[in-house]
Amino acid sequence: MRVIICGAGQVGYSIARYLSREANDVSVIDSDARLINEINDELDVHGIHGYASHPATLEYAGAPDADMIIAVTHFDEVNMIACQVAHSLFGIPKKIARIREQNYLGPAWSNLFSRAHMPIDVIISPEQSVAEAIDQRLMTPGTTMVLPLADRAVYVVGVLCGENCPAVNTPLRQLSTLFPNLNLSIVAIERGLETIIPGADDQIYVGDEVFFCVDAAHVKRAIEAFGHEEQKARNVVIAGGGNIGLSLAERLIHKHKGLSVKLIEKNEARAREISEMMEEVIVLHGDTLDKDLLREIDIAHVETLIAVTNDDEANILGSVLAKQHGCGRVITLVNNPAYPSLTGPLEIDATVSPRATTISMIMRHVRRGRIKAVYNLHDGIAEIIEAEVSETAELANKKIANITFPEDVRIGAIVRGSDVIMPRGETIIRPNDHMIVLASQGSVHDVEKLFCVQVDLF
């Protein structure tokens, strides 16, 4: 497949890395010569120094023969124009654009991106996606990750295991005995910097982050089974009034009646603007690193602080300080891929990465055919995939025990109609099943082939 990526920043680089590993023909365009030099040195792609919206640049990148364009520059307008040029002049079949400015995305202007006007097939809004991800964590306290799949019939959940976790030091094969009425299966364990795709004899230790698939009806009980019985927050503080903070505040106020929301913004003019826009939110001008401000908002009685400023270090330090002053739980936005592994020892309860969220959203549209959803786990070290089984797929009508899966692949759950099935060796995979699979980055392409309908995957 030939793909043009506009923008060589963190998101563009990561998408290029994933696609180039799978023998796709990838061109990357950026106006920053330094980024293009880096991407040419480090990846097997064609890096082009130029402007992504210029027809000549797109033509040089292979637009006449391209299957897809992914526009993720830092400028919404460049992304939109690049997709328009790709459609009007080169007829590129699939066009994906990242658009951050919420003014473009309001319901009143939904016709803007129709085929008759600006034909963009997929709009990626990191602000809305991150707000939704934080809301999921907020409404399922005790989790580090909550991922609904198969029309919310099954969830992939991450939890940290503490001293009070009943499953600690127990072989995984015994979990069904320990929790006989829970419909769940463990698909991955994060232990320090190591990702383990576990077997039946592996054990969970204190400090592990465990990822499991669970029937939607059993989510709350499953979280409690791993030692987390926290209550939903009713008193929330958002640190940061940027696009993400504003989207999150709007979402929480409109979706959760009775929730008390305060928002802290360092820029006085921005704080005043938000205060005028949202009467239901108490807006404070200040900084979460200010101990006097933390005392003013009575941080010891705040159930959850959500740090979503544009500064990773400020988010981390503000979260740590809030915990030290008695805040019940902190959720921290982190862009730098090096930071999430450091947050555990700092007692940060959950992190959210706009970069990882954006990449996951794009990849679910890049993966073609029967792949319905993709989520990148811990900077792409593994992928959680939802895929539908076709009648002609290699694994249709076979017992799981009779299918040769790569060693670093785990089937987490099978959704068949309204039933959620936790897989066993004797389980037979049927056409139209939706399977939740975890695969290491190196095995993703092999997993895609298992669900292939002749040539409907690349």
pLDDT attached to residue 379: 60
DSSP class of 402: G
pLDDT attached to residue 343: 65
151: CB partners within 8 A, 6+ apart: none
User: Which three-class secondary structure state does DSSP give residue 359?
Assistant: helix
pLDDT attached to residue 374: 78
What is the separation of C-alpha 61 from the centre of its chain, rounded to a whole number of angstroms?
29
Query: How far is 248 from 242, CA to CA, in rounded Å?
Result: 10
- Please indicate, yes or no, whether residues 367 and 437 belong to a single structural domain of this protein: yes
Structure tokens of 73? 């520059």
Residue 165, domain member (yes or no):
no
Residue 249, domain member (yes or no):
yes
Of 124, 150, 169, which residue constitutes the final position of a domain?
124
pLDDT attached to residue 456: 42
Q: Which amino acid is at 370?
A: R
Residue 144, domain member (yes or no):
no
* CA–CA–CA angle 21, 27, 30 (5° rounding): 120
- Please indicate, yes or no, whether residues 351 and 365 belong to a single structural domain of this protein: no
- Please indicate, yes or no, whether residues 372 and 395 belong to a single structural domain of this protein: yes
* Whether pTM exceeds 0.75: yes
- Please indicate, yes or no, whether residues 372 and 328 belong to a single structural domain of this protein: no
Q: Which amino acid is at 291?
A: K
Do 317 and 346 form a contact (C-beta atoms < 8 A)?
Answer: no
pLDDT attached to residue 344: 63
Residue 34, domain member (yes or no):
yes
pLDDT attached to residue 332: 93
- Bridge partner list, 2: 25
pLDDT attached to residue 63: 95
pLDDT attached to residue 317: 93
Of 93, 124, 155, which residue constitutes the final position of a domain?
124
For the chain, residues with pLDDT lower than 70 are 340-345, 367-369, 378-380, 452-458
Strand pairing category for 2-6 and 68-71:
parallel
Do 239 and 309 form a contact (C-beta atoms < 8 A)?
Answer: yes
* CA–CA–CA angle 128, 133, 137 (5° rounding): 145
DSSP class of 9: S
- State the CATH number of the domain containing residue 119: 3.40.50.720
Structure tokens of 363? 């990849």
Measured CA distances, 94 to 61, 115, 357 (Å): 16, 12, 20
pLDDT attached to residue 454: 41
Question: Which segments of 182-242 does DSSP mark as H helices, in order?
Answer: 219-225
Residue 342, domain member (yes or no):
yes
pLDDT attached to residue 457: 38
pLDDT attached to residue 43: 92
* CA–CA–CA angle 393, 396, 400 (5° rounding): 125
Do 272 and 106 form a contact (C-beta atoms < 8 A)?
Answer: no
- Please indicate, yes or no, whether residues 362 and 348 belong to a single structural domain of this protein: no
* Sign of the Cα pseudo-torsion (278, 280, 286, 289, in order): negative
- Please indicate, yes or no, whether residues 273 and 289 belong to a single structural domain of this protein: yes
Q: Which amino acid is at 25?
A: D
Query: How far is 236 from 214, CA to CA, in rounded Å?
Result: 27
Q: Phi and psi of 172, rounded to 5°?
A: -60, -30
pLDDT attached to residue 37: 95
pLDDT attached to residue 368: 57
- Please indicate, yes or no, whether residues 239 and 326 belong to a single structural domain of this protein: yes
Total domains, the chain: 3
Residue 288, domain member (yes or no):
yes
Q: Which domain covers residue 92, as residue numbers? A: 2-124
Query: How far is 6 from 66, CA to CA, in rounded Å?
Result: 13
- State the CATH number of the domain containing residue 370: 3.30.70.1450
Of 299, 333, 356, which residue constitutes the final position of a domain?
356
pLDDT attached to residue 340: 66
DSSP class of 419: E
